[in-house]
């Protein structure tokens, strides 16, 4: 009986220990086991490349090597068990391979017994050379590093990853799920000797899927837009600027350049506000570039026709307010093309106030200004329109909206509205992502096209003809330089500050369609708060636009003889 009891005591002890470990500490121990068995997701989570419409690389994962040192384990191949090499000896052997001085390596290795991150961002070849030395206590870790070869050219669209490879801005953030090739860590375990063992891997899981996220942007056109905008920003000491080029039929953006920008490979040197694409997120009052939109409404409401004229007396009273033209100019009796040419505020007010204010508000509401544009660009913002009651009660609101003030929208929304004017009345979805492109099969998964009619085709054609005539009458550089027709409209809108408009703070802009007969592209240029004399859309934004148009003509083979895309 005594022997039995002595044998039973250890069994009961083991049973109690098992009870404690499995039932009382089971969850904690299981979590610790998973953390030790599963490798770091950072080492295995690869991301798909991002390319432009021509296949030019904008972002991709490059495999790099990181060197870890554990001085407490330092041994050379062939050393006897228990022998430990000094930091100086290891430094002498490593230095020629790493192209560093032995004293520099010694300095980095001293003061810590293990877990020293010695060097990183090394090429795989350099890592293999270190590994070939066979030094115990020197580990080579291979990891992916996100590369952005175009620098600041696409930073506003593509975004970046932080040092922990977490997406922080742009498409890297909004398209994170599509860019991840697949999280490998849930399928891998570390054995006791740290060997990686695959588990539950489906067929083909370790094969590269060869997919790329393809954008509609064109690197050549983006660079031309960026260069022209940067020159204008420097010349006019402007606060910010943007250039946007869109295909009016399918909504593809071929260029979206903005300033100020940053280098995504050195994002820590930039201000956080630079990570936002302001042309998609920030509201502004469009000014005279909104006048063509109003003229389409006036045509469709029967307020004007193809040969209409208006009496421009230089000023007009709206309630207790007096509205004047720029610099108080008086233009007399003018046609609609002349109204656009001289950008007559008085002519627009007299035209649009003939429309009942409730009806005017309904037509503006139909443009979906207060809705967030359906776009894949992150951070898109809805515009602002006065409430129906406010708009009806105070005629000054209808008067100011007629020439593009008192209404707020993003540059992206204005681009979308002008694309509708250019394509015959269809609201299309502005976007930069074409889809996942399979390099092996040359297939691209794209989202079905979307469009909604907001204007009639006849009215848009009439306004386009007026814009073309106005561009010719104004003798602006686009008309002088290019042998093909171009339809455009300048804008110089004041900015509201502290409840009133600041005459010294303006947004200069220019919008153009080309070719005019059957438009394919709409170009929008904005330069915010230029400094100097004569800061207008015609002097600041328009020269940028025609440099971009030059590039479009060359790159897309627009033939002057036919006025259409080749």
Question: Which CATH number does the domain housing residue 129 bear?
Answer: 3.90.1310.10
Mean pLDDT of 499-509: 83
Mean pLDDT is lowest, of 116-120, 398-402, 462-466, for: 116-120
The reported pLDDT for the residue numbered 485 is 60
CB 146 within 8 A of CB 161: yes
Q: Which of 96, 131, 146 is a domain's end point?
A: 146
Instruction: Give the C-alpha distances (Å, rounded to integers) separating 54 from 172, 221, 398, 559.
Output: 20, 11, 45, 21
Same domain? For 264 and 128 the reply is no
Q: Which of 88, 114, 146 is a domain's end point?
A: 146
Same domain? For 356 and 253 the reply is yes
In the predicted structure, residue 202 carries a pLDDT above the cut 70: no
Report the domain count for the chain. Answer: 2
CB 304 within 8 A of CB 351: yes
Mean pLDDT, rounded, of the chain: 86
In the predicted structure, residue 90 carries a pLDDT above the cut 90: no
Mean pLDDT of 82-109: 87
The reported pLDDT for the residue numbered 108 is 86
CATH number for the domain harbouring residue 356:
3.40.710.10
CB 257 within 8 A of CB 265: no
Looking at the domain assignment, is residue 154 inside a domain?
no
Distance between CA 61 and CA 78 in Å, rounded? 37
Paired tokens of 80: 């006897």
Looking at the domain assignment, is residue 157 inside a domain?
no
Mean pLDDT of 77-98: 87
Paired tokens of 405: 């003030």
Candidates 551, 289, 549, 254; CA nearest to 413 is 289
Same domain? For 553 and 422 the reply is yes
Between 103 and 198, name the one with better pLDDT.
103
Same domain? For 416 and 535 the reply is yes
Mean pLDDT of 192-211: 53
Looking at the domain assignment, is residue 190 inside a domain?
no
Provide the pLDDT confidence category of residue 58 given band limits of 50, 70 and 90.
Answer: very high
Burial class (CB in 10 A: 0-12, 13-18, 19+), 11: exposed
Q: Which domain range does residue 509 map to?
A: 219-565
Same domain? For 132 and 227 the reply is no
Mean pLDDT of 305-324: 91
The reported pLDDT for the residue numbered 185 is 43
Same domain? For 324 and 471 the reply is yes
In the predicted structure, residue 566 carries a pLDDT above the cut 50: no
Looking at the domain assignment, is residue 207 inside a domain?
no
Instruction: Give the C-alpha distances (Å, rounded to integers) separating 202 from 114, 438, 479.
Output: 37, 20, 62
Between 253 and 41, name the one with better pLDDT.
253
Looking at the domain assignment, is residue 211 inside a domain?
no
Same domain? For 259 and 372 the reply is yes
* Strand 211-215 to 50-51 pairing: parallel
Provide the pLDDT confidence category of residue 558 given band limits of 50, 70 and 90.
Answer: low
Q: Model confidence over 416-445: pLDDT tens digits?
A: 999 999 999 999 999 999 988 887 664 555
In the predicted structure, residue 281 carries a pLDDT above the cut 70: yes
Candidates 254, 421, 368; CA nearest to 385 is 368
Mean pLDDT of 383-406: 93
Distance between CA 171 and CA 155 in Å, rounded? 10
Same domain? For 135 and 275 the reply is no
Is this structure's pTM higher than 0.85? no
Looking at the domain assignment, is residue 142 inside a domain?
yes
Paired tokens of 142: 């291979």
Provide the pLDDT confidence category of residue 41 given band limits of 50, 70 and 90.
Answer: very low
Provide the pLDDT confidence category of residue 189 given band limits of 50, 70 and 90.
Answer: low
Q: Model confidence over 297-309: pLDDT tens digits?
A: 999 999 999 899 9
Mean pLDDT of 143-149: 92
The reported pLDDT for the residue numbered 319 is 86
In the predicted structure, residue 3 carries a pLDDT above the cut 80: yes
Mean pLDDT of 337-366: 94
Same domain? For 475 and 336 the reply is yes
Same domain? For 118 and 232 the reply is no
**Residue 502: partners with Cβ closer than 8 Å, 6 or more residues away:** 494, 495, 496
Looking at the domain assignment, is residue 191 inside a domain?
no
Mean pLDDT of 349-375: 95
Instruction: Give the C-alpha distances (Å, rounded to integers) separating 546 from 7, 177, 467, 482, 523.
Output: 96, 38, 16, 9, 9
Provide the pLDDT confidence category of residue 213 given band limits of 50, 70 and 90.
Answer: very high
Mean pLDDT is lowest, of 47-61, 178-192, 504-518, 529-543, for: 178-192
87 three-class SS:
helix
The reported pLDDT for the residue numbered 163 is 86
Return the number of other C-beta atoms located less than 10 Å from residue 58's C-beta: 26
Between 36 and 477, name the one with better pLDDT.
36
Mean pLDDT of 90-115: 86
Return the number of other C-beta atoms located less than 10 Å from residue 246's C-beta: 28
The reported pLDDT for the residue numbered 423 is 95
Tell me what percent of the residues of the chain surpass a pLDDT of 90.
53
The reported pLDDT for the residue numbered 191 is 53
Q: Which of 112, 146, 180 is a domain's end point?
A: 146
Which H or E run includes 52? none
Looking at the domain assignment, is residue 210 inside a domain?
no
Mean pLDDT is lowest, of 168-172, 473-477, 533-537, for: 473-477
In the predicted structure, residue 31 carries a pLDDT above the cut 90: no
Between 130 and 189, name the one with better pLDDT.
130
The reported pLDDT for the residue numbered 38 is 52
Between 101 and 44, name the one with better pLDDT.
101
Distance between CA 115 and CA 565 in Å, rounded? 61
The reported pLDDT for the residue numbered 186 is 44
Return the number of other C-beta atoms located less than 10 Å from residue 400's C-beta: 22
């Amino acid at each position: 009986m005594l022997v039995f009891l002595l044998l039973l005591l250890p069994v009961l002890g083991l049973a109690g220990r098992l009870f404690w470990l499995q039932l009382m500490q089971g969850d904690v121990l299981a979590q610790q086991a998973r953390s030790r068995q599963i490798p770091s997701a950072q080492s295995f989570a690869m991301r798909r490349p991002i390319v432009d419409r021509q296949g030019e690389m904008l972002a991709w994962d490059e495999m790099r090597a990181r060197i870890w040192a554990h001085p407490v384990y330092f041994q050379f191949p062939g050393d006897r068990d228990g022998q430990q090499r000094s930091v100086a000896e290891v430094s002498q052997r490593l230095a020629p391979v790493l192209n560093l001085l032995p004293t520099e390596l010694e300095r980095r290795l001293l003061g810590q017994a293990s877990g020293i991150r010695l060097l990183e961002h090394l090429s795989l070849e350099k890592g293999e050379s270190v590994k070939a030395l066979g030094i115990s206590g020197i580990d080579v870790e291979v990891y992916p590093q996100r590369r952005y070869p175009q620098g600041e050219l696409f930073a506003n669209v593509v975004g970046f990853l932080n040092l922990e490879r977490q997406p922080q801005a742009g498409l890297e953030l909004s398209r994170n799920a599509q860019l991840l090739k697949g999280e490998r860590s849930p399928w891998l375990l570390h054995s006791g000797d740290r060997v990686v063992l695959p588990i539950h891997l489906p067929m083909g899981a370790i094969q590269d899927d060869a997919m790329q996220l393809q954008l509609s942007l064109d690197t050549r056109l983006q660079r031309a837009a960026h260069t022209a905008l940067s020159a204008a920003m420097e010349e006019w000491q402007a606060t910010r600027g943007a250039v946007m080029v869109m295909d009016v039929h399918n909504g593809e953006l071929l260029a979206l350049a903005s300033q100020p920008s940053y280098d995504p490979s050195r994002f820590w040197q930039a201000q956080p506000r630079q990570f936002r694409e302001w042309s998609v997120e920030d509201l502004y009052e469009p000014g005279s570039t909104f006048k063509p939109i109003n003229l389409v409404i006036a045509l469709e409401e029967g307020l004007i026709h193809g040969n209409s004229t208006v009496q421009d007396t230089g000023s007009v009273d709206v309630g207790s307010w007096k509205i004047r033209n720029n610099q108080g100019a008086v233009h007399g009796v003018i046609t609609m093309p002349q109204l656009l040419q001289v950008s007559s505020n008085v002519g627009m007010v007299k035209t649009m106030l003939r429309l009942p204010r409730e009806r005017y508000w309904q037509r503006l509401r139909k443009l979906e200004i207060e809705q967030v544009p359906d776009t894949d660009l992150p951070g898109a913002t809805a515009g602002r329109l006065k409430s129906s009651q406010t708009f009806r009660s105070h005629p000054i609101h209808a008067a100011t909206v007629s020439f593009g003030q008192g209404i707020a929208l993003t540059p992206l929304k204005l681009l979308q509205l002008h694309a509708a004017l250019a394509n015959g009345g269809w609201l299309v979805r502005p976007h930069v992502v074409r889809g996942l492109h399979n390099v092996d099969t040359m297939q691209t998964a794209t989202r079905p096209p979307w469009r909604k009619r907001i204007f009639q085709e006849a009215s848009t054609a009439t306004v386009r003809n007026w814009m073309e005539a106005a561009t010719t009458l104004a003798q602006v550089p686009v008309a002088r330089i290019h042998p093909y027709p171009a339809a455009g409209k300048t804008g110089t809108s004041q900015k509201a500050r502290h409840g009133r408009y600041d005459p010294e703070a303006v947004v200069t802009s220019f919008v153009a369609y080309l070719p005019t007969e059957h438009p394919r592209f709409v170009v929008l240029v904005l330069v915010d708060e230029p400094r100097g004399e004569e800061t207008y859309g015609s002097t600041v934004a328009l020269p940028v636009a025609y440099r971009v148009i030059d590039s479009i003509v060359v790159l897309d083979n627009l033939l002057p003889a036919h006025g259409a895309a080749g």
